[in-house]
Protein backbone atom coordinates (compact mmCIF):
# COMPACT_ATOMS: atom_id res chain seq x y z
CA UNK A 1 0.00 0.00 0.00
CA UNK A 2 1.44 3.35 -0.92
CA UNK A 3 0.90 6.59 0.89
CA UNK A 4 -1.96 7.65 -1.37
CA UNK A 5 -3.83 4.40 -0.85
CA UNK A 6 -3.44 4.77 2.88
CA UNK A 7 -5.00 8.20 2.67
CA UNK A 8 -7.91 6.70 0.77
CA UNK A 9 -8.36 4.03 3.40
CA UNK A 10 -8.59 6.61 6.16
CA UNK A 11 -10.93 8.79 4.13
CA UNK A 12 -13.18 5.82 3.47
CA UNK A 13 -14.04 5.21 7.13
CA UNK A 14 -16.97 7.68 7.34
CA UNK A 15 -18.54 6.04 4.27
CA UNK A 16 -18.39 2.69 6.02
CA UNK A 17 -20.16 4.17 9.03
CA UNK A 18 -22.90 5.57 6.79
CA UNK A 19 -23.47 2.17 5.19
CA UNK A 20 -23.75 0.50 8.58
CA UNK A 21 -26.39 3.01 9.64
CA UNK A 22 -28.37 2.58 6.43
CA UNK A 23 -28.73 -1.15 6.86
CA UNK A 24 -29.48 -0.78 10.53
CA UNK A 25 -26.54 -2.90 11.54
CA UNK A 26 -24.80 -2.40 14.83
CA UNK A 27 -21.47 -0.69 14.51
CA UNK A 28 -18.71 -3.28 14.34
CA UNK A 29 -17.11 -3.96 17.68
CA UNK A 30 -13.72 -3.97 16.02
CA UNK A 31 -11.58 -2.20 13.46
CA UNK A 32 -12.02 1.29 14.83
CA UNK A 33 -9.07 3.28 16.00
CA UNK A 34 -8.98 4.68 19.54
CA UNK A 35 -11.67 2.29 20.80
CA UNK A 36 -9.36 0.46 23.21
CA UNK A 37 -9.19 -2.74 21.15
CA UNK A 38 -6.03 -3.30 19.13
CA UNK A 39 -6.90 -4.77 15.76
CA UNK A 40 -5.04 -5.44 12.52
CA UNK A 41 -3.94 -2.22 10.78
CA UNK A 42 -3.63 -0.46 14.12
CA UNK A 43 -0.67 0.54 16.23
CA UNK A 44 -1.01 0.06 19.97
CA UNK A 45 0.61 1.69 23.00
CA UNK A 46 0.01 -0.09 26.31
CA UNK A 47 -0.30 1.39 29.76
CA UNK A 48 1.79 -1.39 31.34
CA UNK A 49 4.66 -3.71 30.39
CA UNK A 50 4.07 -6.96 28.50
CA UNK A 51 1.00 -5.52 26.75
CA UNK A 52 -0.67 -5.09 30.11
CA UNK A 53 -3.46 -2.77 31.10
CA UNK A 54 -5.26 -0.55 28.64
CA UNK A 55 -4.16 0.02 25.07
CA UNK A 56 -4.30 3.16 22.96
CA UNK A 57 -4.98 1.93 19.41
CA UNK A 58 -4.50 4.31 16.50
CA UNK A 59 -3.79 4.34 12.79
CA UNK A 60 -3.04 7.94 11.95
CA UNK A 61 -0.22 10.23 12.98
CA UNK A 62 -0.44 11.58 16.51
CA UNK A 63 1.31 14.93 16.71
CA UNK A 64 0.67 14.90 20.42
CA UNK A 65 -0.67 12.28 22.82
CA UNK A 66 -1.72 14.86 25.39
CA UNK A 67 -5.24 14.85 23.95
CA UNK A 68 -5.63 11.06 24.08
CA UNK A 69 -6.71 8.75 26.86
CA UNK A 70 -6.99 5.00 27.40
CA UNK A 71 -10.50 3.72 26.67
CA UNK A 72 -10.23 -0.04 26.80
CA UNK A 73 -10.44 -2.98 26.73
CA UNK A 74 -13.32 -2.96 29.20
CA UNK A 75 -12.19 -3.00 32.82
CA UNK A 76 -8.52 -2.50 31.95
CA UNK A 77 -5.98 -1.00 34.28
CA UNK A 78 -5.36 2.65 33.35
CA UNK A 79 -8.75 3.37 31.85
CA UNK A 80 -9.42 7.14 31.38
CA UNK A 81 -5.79 7.98 32.10
CA UNK A 82 -3.82 10.09 29.65
CA UNK A 83 -1.63 8.39 27.06
CA UNK A 84 1.15 10.98 26.98
CA UNK A 85 4.30 9.90 28.87
CA UNK A 86 2.30 6.94 30.14
CA UNK A 87 3.05 3.86 28.01
CA UNK A 88 5.34 0.95 28.80
CA UNK A 89 4.93 -1.52 25.91
CA UNK A 90 3.65 -1.63 22.36
CA UNK A 91 2.43 -3.85 19.58
CA UNK A 92 2.43 -2.74 15.96
CA UNK A 93 -0.38 -4.65 14.26
CA UNK A 94 -0.30 -2.28 11.30
CA UNK A 95 1.16 -3.13 7.92
CA UNK A 96 3.44 -0.10 8.08
CA UNK A 97 6.11 0.88 10.57
CA UNK A 98 5.59 3.41 13.30
CA UNK A 99 7.97 5.92 14.84
CA UNK A 100 7.53 6.96 18.43
CA UNK A 101 9.03 10.15 19.86
CA UNK A 102 9.71 11.35 23.37
CA UNK A 103 8.48 14.89 22.63
CA UNK A 104 5.40 16.21 20.89
CA UNK A 105 5.45 17.21 17.20
CA UNK A 106 7.83 14.33 16.46
CA UNK A 107 10.66 15.73 18.57
CA UNK A 108 13.07 14.30 21.10
CA UNK A 109 14.36 10.75 20.84
CA UNK A 110 12.93 8.83 17.88
CA UNK A 111 12.43 5.08 17.89
CA UNK A 112 11.13 2.85 15.11
CA UNK A 113 8.71 -0.03 15.58
CA UNK A 114 8.50 -2.26 12.48
CA UNK A 115 5.25 -3.83 11.35
CA UNK A 116 4.37 -6.80 13.56
CA UNK A 117 6.78 -5.90 16.33
CA UNK A 118 5.86 -6.05 19.99
CA UNK A 119 7.97 -5.34 23.04
CA UNK A 120 8.53 -3.36 26.18
CA UNK A 121 9.72 0.21 26.01
CA UNK A 122 13.38 0.62 26.87
CA UNK A 123 14.46 3.13 29.50
CA UNK A 124 14.63 5.93 26.92
CA UNK A 125 10.98 5.50 26.02
CA UNK A 126 9.24 4.03 29.05
CA UNK A 127 6.53 6.47 30.12
CA UNK A 128 8.04 9.09 27.81
CA UNK A 129 6.36 8.62 24.42
CA UNK A 130 4.60 11.84 23.36
CA UNK A 131 3.99 11.60 19.59
CA UNK A 132 4.00 9.01 16.80
CA UNK A 133 4.05 8.85 13.01
CA UNK A 134 3.97 6.02 10.49
CA UNK A 135 6.58 5.18 7.84
CA UNK A 136 7.33 2.75 5.06
CA1 LIG B 1 -9.34 -0.57 17.51
CA1 LIG C 1 -3.32 12.99 19.68
Domain ranges of the chain: 32-135
Question: CA 52, CA 130: separation in Å to the nearest integer?
Answer: 19
| Ligand that lies nearest to the alpha carbon of residue 58, given by its number in the listed order | 1
By C-alpha distance, which of 114, 61, 62 is closest to 90? 114
User: Rounded to 10 degrees, what is the CA torsion of 60, 70, 54, 136?
Assistant: 10
Residues 75, 83: contact at Cβ < 8 Å? no
Instruction: For the chain, 136 residues long, give each residue's pLDDT as a single digit of tens.
Output: 444 445 544 554 555 545 444 444 544 444 699 999 999 999 999 999 999 999 999 999 999 999 999 999 999 999 999 999 999 999 999 999 999 999 999 999 999 999 999 999 999 999 999 999 999 9
Give the Å distance between the CA of 23 and the centre of ligand 2.
32
- Burial grade of 49 (CB within 10 A; 0-12, 13-18, 19 or more): middle
32-135 has CATH 3.40.50.2300 classification: no
Give the Å distance between the CA of 70 and the centre of ligand 1.
12
Give the Å distance between the CA of 100 and the centre of ligand 2.
12
| Ligand that lies nearest to the alpha carbon of residue 40, given by its number in the listed order | 1
Amino acid sequence: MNKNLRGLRLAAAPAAIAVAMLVGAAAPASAWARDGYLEPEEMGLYYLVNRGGCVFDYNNNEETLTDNQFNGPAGCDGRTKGVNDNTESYWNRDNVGWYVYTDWKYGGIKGSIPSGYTGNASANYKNKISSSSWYW
